[in-house]
Amino acid sequence: MEKIQYIGETLLPGQIGQMGVLLAFVGALLSMVAYWFATQRRESTDYESWRNIGRYAFLTHGLGVFAVIGSLLYAMINQLYEYQYVQAHVSEELPMKFIFSALWEGQEGSFLLWMFWHVLLGFVLLFKGKSWETSTLTVIAAIQAVLATMILGIYIGFGDEPSKFGSNPMLLLRQTIDAPIFAQADYLKLIKGNGLNPALQNYWMTIHPPTLFLGFASTAVPFAFAIAGLWTKRHTEWLKPALPWALFCGSILGIGILMGSAWAYEALNFGGFWAWDPVENTSLVPWLLIVAGVHTNLISKATGHSVRSSYIFYLLGFLLVVYSTFLTRSGVLGETSVHAFTEMGLESQLILFISVFTLAGLGLMIWRWRGIPHPKSEEHTTSKEFWMFIGTLILLFSAVLITGSTSLPVYNKIMQVFNPAFEGKVITEPVAHFNKYQLWIAVFIGYFSGFAQFLRFRENNWSKNALRFAIHLGGGLGIAGLLTYLSSLLIELHTWQYTLLTFSAYFTIVSNLDYLITHLRGKLKIAGSAFSHIGFGLMIIGIMASGVNRKIISSNAFLMDGLIAGGDEEMSKKNITLFRNVPTMMQDYLVTYKKDTLDHFTRTYTVNYQRKNKKGKLVEDFNLYPTILYDKSFTKIATSNPDTRHYVLKDVFTHISALPEVEQNFELKKQREEELKYKALNLEQGRTQLLHDTLDVENQDTVFRRTFQISLESISRNPVHHEYKPEPGDLAFSTKLKVRRSDDDSVYYANPVILLRGQLIYTYPDQIDDLSAKFKIGQDAIEKVFALDNQLKYENINLRQGDLGKWQDLKIKFTGFNKAPEHPDYSRKEGDLAVGAKLDITAPNGKTYHAEPIFLIRDQQPLNVKVEVSELGLHVRFPLLDPGKETIQLMLAKSSTPSSIPVEVATDSLPSNYIVLEAMEFPGINVFWFGTLLMMFGLGFSIWNRMSTRRSGESLV
Amino acid sequence: MKRIYLIAGIMVAIAILLFVNSGKDMTTYGSFADANSSTKKIKIVGKLAKNKPMVYDPAKDPNHFSFFIKDNNGEEQKVVLLKAKPQDFEMSEQIVVTGRMKEGVFVATDLLMKCPSKYKDEEIAIKTKQNG
C-alpha cells in the first residue's frame, strides 16, 4: 500500500515520549545491575564506580519517566487526537481541571503514576539512603524495570503471533486501530476525543488515585529494606531506617483508601463507605500487613524478638500490592467487582511480576532464615512484646481471610485449568460474609490494643506491676461498660456480637486516653500509637452507629436483616416515588420534589426536607440537590450523583435511583411526544366542551369509554410554565383550562403556554398526571391573540416630551428620546437615522410598563418598528417625528380577546414529573471519619518521633 | 517462643476451621431448576430475554422491576427485582441475580450485570457537522 502523508499530525511529543519509555526501561535495568554490583562489592575498590553508574542510571531512568509523563500531558492538554491515549481520555468538552484525572484514568497512565512515585521515593533513598542506598535502590530499580515493561509496547518473538510486551501510551491512533478513516490524509480533522468517563469527573478522581498510588509505591521501600537486610545480612540494622518508611506508608496508604471510601460515600450511589468490593479489599490487605510490620518492627527494635516476622510482613506488604494489581487489572475478577477493569493482555506480564518478586523475596528469606538472629529466651506472657505479637498475628489473620475470600475467582480459574467442567464458586452475600469474620478481628484488636499499652517490653516480673495494671485495666473495663450501656440507649446494637465489639472499641479508647494522660504525661512525641488506637476505637464506634444503624428513610419497612422471615426482601425495597410538588411523608420527614433545572449535561433536582417535632414545630428544613448527568447525546444517564446534608451527629443522604424513561432519553421523549394522539378542540370562553375517549382494556376485546369536560377559564398574557424562561420581546400567553373526567370526581386545571419569539413558535404543553392527559395550544391561536397588524384599528395621538397623554384606560408618559434604540426586529444599517421614544404606560391597576417604539429613516424612507406590550395586548407604533414642534405621533391599538382558542388534547400521555429517590440517614458517621483520620494521623505522627530519635540515636519506646 | 508457636498453631487451626466453615457462604451459580427445589437464596447467571416484556412503572411501585432471563440451561423465568431498574439494563451481556423462588416468580434482592465497556470501545468518534 502506498504510504499516506498525513496532514496536521504533531509527532514530536510522541518521539520524545517513546524515547522516554526506552530511557526509563534501559535506565532502570542498568541502575539495577550497577547497584547490584555496588552492593556485592561494597568492600572492594570499584564500589564507588559501580555506585556512581547506578546513580546516574537511576537519575536517567527518572528523567525518562518524567519525559513520558510530560509529553503525554502536553499531548493531552493540546488535544492531539492522533495519539490513541489522548483520543481515548480527552475531549473538547473536558475542563482543563480534569486533565490529570484523564491522565491516570487508563491503565498506562496509572502505571506511569505509580512509577512516578517510585522515582521520587527512589530519589530520596539515593540522596539520603547512606549505606542502604545501593541495596535498596537495586530493588526499586528492579521494580521499575518490570513496571517499565508494562508501558513498553514492543513485540517479542517470531512467527505470526509475536507476544506483546506492555501497552505504550504514546502510540498513534492509526498504529493501534485499523480503520478506514486512516485512508484519508486529513483524518485528524474528522475525529474527536472520547473524553473522561463522566462518573469520574469530580475532584475525588484528582486526589484519590495519586494518594493511593503513593501509598502503593511506598510499600516498595520497606520491601526494599527487608530485601537489603536479608541480602547484606544486616538483620538488625535495617529495622531502624525501615520504620519511618513503614509508618509513612501506613499513613498515606490509609488516607488513600479512606479517600476512596469518602468518594464512594459522597459522590457515588453506593449508599455507604465500604462494600467489601475486591478492589477495596486488595488495597486494605497491604495496609494491614504494613501495620502489622510496624508492630513487629517496634518489637524487634526494643527486644530483638520478631525480626523474622518483620521481614515477612514487609515482604508481603509489597507482594500483596502487586497481587492487587494483578487482580484488578487482569480481568480475572469478572462480575464480582463493580469496578470496571478491562483486560489488556497484560495478564502474563503481571503473573511474571508477582512470581519474580515472590521468588526473590521468599527465596532470600528461606536462604537466610537460619542466620536471622532470634533470642533464645521466650517472650513472657506479661510482656508487651508478647501481646503486640499476638496482635500482629490477628492482623495477619484478617489479611489472610480477606485475601482468601477475594481470591475466589482466581481459585476458580486455577481449578478450571485442571478440570474444565469445574463450576466456579461465588460468595452469596459478600458483605455479610466479610462482616461476620472481620468483626472478631476488630474485637480482639480492641482488647489487645487497650491493655497492651500498660505492659512493658521485656517485662518478666509480673507482681511488681500487678496492682497498677489491675487498677488501669479495671477502670478501663468499667468505663467502657458504662459507655457501651449509654450507647445502647442511643443506637441499636442488635446482637451480642455487636455489643461485645462496641465494648472492646470503648475499652481501647478509654485505655489509650488513660495511657496518654497518666503515662505519657504530655510527652506528645511518643503519643502516635495512642492516637492511632483511639482512632481505631472511634472508627468501630462510627461503624456501629452509621453502618449498623443506617436507616433507610425512603422505605417504609422497619425491618432488620435476617431477624424476620422474608425480612431481607422487604429490606431491599429502598426507593420511593416522588411526584413534583406533592409532599410525601418519609419516616419523620415530609419530602417534596420541588423542581429541576438543566445546565449543560447536568440536571439538578431540588428536594426539600422538613421535619417537625412532636409539638408540631418545624425543626429541620433544608434542600438537597442530587444531580443526574446525561451523556453527550442526551439519550442516556451517565451518572447519578447524590447529595448529603451534613450534621454533626448524622448525615441525610439522597440520590436519584430512577427517572421516567422519557426523562432519561430525550430522543425517546421527542418520539413519544410525536406519537401522542392529539385531538383538536376549539374552546370558547364560558362553554364546556366534551371529548369522548376510548381506552383498550388489557387482555380483553372490550373498550372502556370515558368523557372529558374541558372549558376555557381565562387567557393570561403573563404566562408561567416550568420550562418557559421569559426573554424581552417575547410574545406569549397561556390558557387556563378546567378539566374533569367522567370517572374521576376531582377538578383539574392545565395551563399550557404558547410563545412567539422572533419568527419561531414554541409550544409548552401542560400535563395533568392524574388523568394522563396533556394539553397544548394550537398554533393558530398566536394569530388570534396577537392579532395580525392589518386587522388592528390604530388610533393616533400626539405627544411632546414630558407630556402625559391618555388613551382609553391607559396613561402614557413620553419621557424622552433614545438615540441608540434597540429592538429584536431592528438591526442597524449604515446610514440609518433611528430614534426611540421612551414611554411609560400605566394600566388602570397601577402597573407601569416601559415601551420604546422606534422611528427611523433608511434610504430617505421613513420607517417604524412596532413594539407590543404583551400583557396589555397593546400595540404601539411611532410613525412620525416633527422636529419643528418637537412632537411625536404615536399609533395605538389593542388586540381584542378572541372568542375562541384552538386547543389540542392528548389522553394517552404517561406521567413524567416524578423521580425515584433513595434516602438514608447515617447517624454518627463523623465519628467514623474522625476515627479513621486519627488512626492515620497517629501513624504519620510517629514518624516525627522516629526521625528525631534517629538523629539523636536514642529510642523512646 | 513455644507459647507463641502454640498460639500461632491455634490460630492456624481456627483459620482452617473458618475456611471450611465459610464454604457455607459460597455457592456455585445455580439454575432456576435449583431455585425451584430450594427455599434458600441462590445466585443465578443468565441472559436477558429481550423478546419478553420488561416492566418498570415507578409511578405504581418504584421497588418492582420485572423481566425475564434465560439461565445457562436455557430455562426462561420471570424475575422480579425489588429495586429500581438499573441503568443500561438493556445493554447487559450477562446478569447475575440473587434471590429465591416465590409463587412461581424468582424474587431477586440483588442484581449484578456485565456490560460491554462503554468508554473503552474501539470506535472512533467522528465529528458531525453540528459539533464543528
* Whether residue A103 has pLDDT greater than 90: yes
| Domain ranges across chain A | 1-196, 217-260+275-427, 573-646+650-665+914-922, 680-908
User: pLDDT above 90 covers what percent of chain A?
Assistant: 37
Q: What is the DSSP code string of A220-240?
A: HHHHHHHHHHHHHT-TTTTHH
A218 with A121: CB under 8 angstroms?
yes
Would you call A335 an interface residue with chain B, using a CB distance cutoff of 8 Å?
Answer: yes
Q: What is the DSSP code string of A472-535?
A: HHHHHHHHHHHHHHHHHHHS---SHHHHHHHHHHHHHHHHHHHIIIIISTT-GGG-HHHHHHHH
pLDDT for position A567: 57
Confidence of residue A700 (pLDDT cuts 50, 70, 90): low
* Whether residue A891 has pLDDT greater than 80: yes
When mean pLDDT is compared over A601-610, A886-895, B123-132, the highest value belongs to A601-610
pLDDT for position A287: 97
Would you call A428 an interface residue with chain B, using a CB distance cutoff of 8 Å?
Answer: yes
Helix ranges restricted to H, A883-924: none
- Rounded Cα distance between A612 and A621, Å, is 9
* Residue in B with minimal Cα distance to A406: B26
Strand A575-579 and strand A551-552: pairing? unpaired
> Which whole number is the average pLDDT over A461-480?
84
Residue of A194, A397, A910 with shortest CB distance to B15? A397
SS3 category, A13? helix
> Which whole number is the average pLDDT over B66-74?
89
pLDDT for position A563: 40
* Whether residue B19 has pLDDT greater than 80: no
Contact B26 A918 (CB under 8 A): no
pLDDT in tens, A510-540: 999 998 888 877 677 788 899 999 999 999 9
Pick the closest to residue A173 from A98, A109, A83, A111 (CA basis): A83
pLDDT for position A708: 87
List chain A residues with CB under 8 Å of B113: 335
> Which whole number is the average pLDDT over B90-100?
85
Most B CBs within 10 Å: which of A309, A397, A561, as the mutation test of the B interface? A397
pLDDT for position B36: 86
pLDDT for position A954: 41
pLDDT for position A339: 57
List chain B residues with CB under 8 Å of A85: none
Contact A192 B11 (CB under 8 A): no
pLDDT for position B43: 86
pLDDT in tens, A25-41: 999 999 999 999 999 99
Shortest CA gap A640–chain B (Å): 10
A516 with A528: CB under 8 angstroms?
no
pLDDT for position B14: 83
The length of chain A in residues reads: 957
* CATH fold for domain B27-114: OB fold (Dihydrolipoamide Acetyltransferase, E2P) (2.40.50)
* Whether residue B1 has pLDDT greater than 70: no
Contact A393 B15 (CB under 8 A): no
Would you call A174 an interface residue with chain B, using a CB distance cutoff of 8 Å?
Answer: no
Q: Among A188-192, A483-487, A953-957, B89-93, where is mean pLDDT lowest?
A: A953-957
SS3 category, A635? coil
Residue of A173, A427, A911 with shortest CB distance to B26? A427
Contact A193 B58 (CB under 8 A): no
Identity of residue A745: D
* Whether residue A559 has pLDDT greater than 50: no
Contact B122 A177 (CB under 8 A): yes
Shortest CA gap B1–chain A (Å): 5
Residue of A340, A425, A572 with shortest CB distance to B83? A572
The b/e string for A175-192 (b: 16+ C-beta within 10 A; e otherwise) is ebeeeeebeeeebbeebb
- For CA atoms A666, A669, A670, A671, the dihedral sign is positive
SS3 category, A782? helix
pLDDT in tens, A437-447: 899 999 999 99
Most A CBs within 10 Å: which of B124, B126, B129, as the mutation test of the A interface? B124
Residue of B25, B59, B87 with shortest CB distance to A433? B25
pLDDT in tens, A394-439: 999 999 999 998 998 888 888 888 888 887 788 888 888 898 889 9
pLDDT for position A378: 74
Contacts of B113 (CB under 8 A, 6+ apart): A335, B86, B88, B89, B92, B93, B94, B95, B96
Please report how the helices A496-514 and A528-542 are oriented relative to each other, as an axis angle in degrees rounded to 10.
150
> Which whole number is the average pLDDT over B100-106?
88
Residue of A424, A437, A918 with shortest CB distance to B18? A437
Contact B62 A576 (CB under 8 A): yes
List chain A residues with CB under 8 Å of B85: 658
Nine-digit cell string for A588: 419523620
pLDDT for position A857: 86
Residue of B56, B82, B125 with shortest CB distance to A573? B82
Pick the closest to residue A656 from B88, B114, B58 (CA basis): B58
Residue of B4, B63, B88 with shortest CB distance to A379? B4
List chain A residues with CB under 8 Å of B26: 408, 425-428
> Which whole number is the average pLDDT over A352-359?
92
| Domain ranges across chain B | 27-114
pLDDT for position A955: 41
Interface size between A and B, measured as CB pairs under 8 A: 140
Query: What is the Cα A188 distance to its own chain's centre?
Result: 32
- For CA atoms A130, A132, A137, A138, the dihedral sign is positive
Nine-digit cell string for A527: 503519643
Residue of A173, A342, A405 with shortest CB distance to B120? A342
Contact A425 B25 (CB under 8 A): no
Most B CBs within 10 Å: which of A94, A387, A425, as the mutation test of the B interface? A425
Would you call A572 an interface residue with chain B, using a CB distance cutoff of 8 Å?
Answer: yes
The length of chain B in residues reads: 132
* Whether residue B72 has pLDDT greater than 70: yes
Residue A489, number of CB atoms within 10 A of its CB? 6
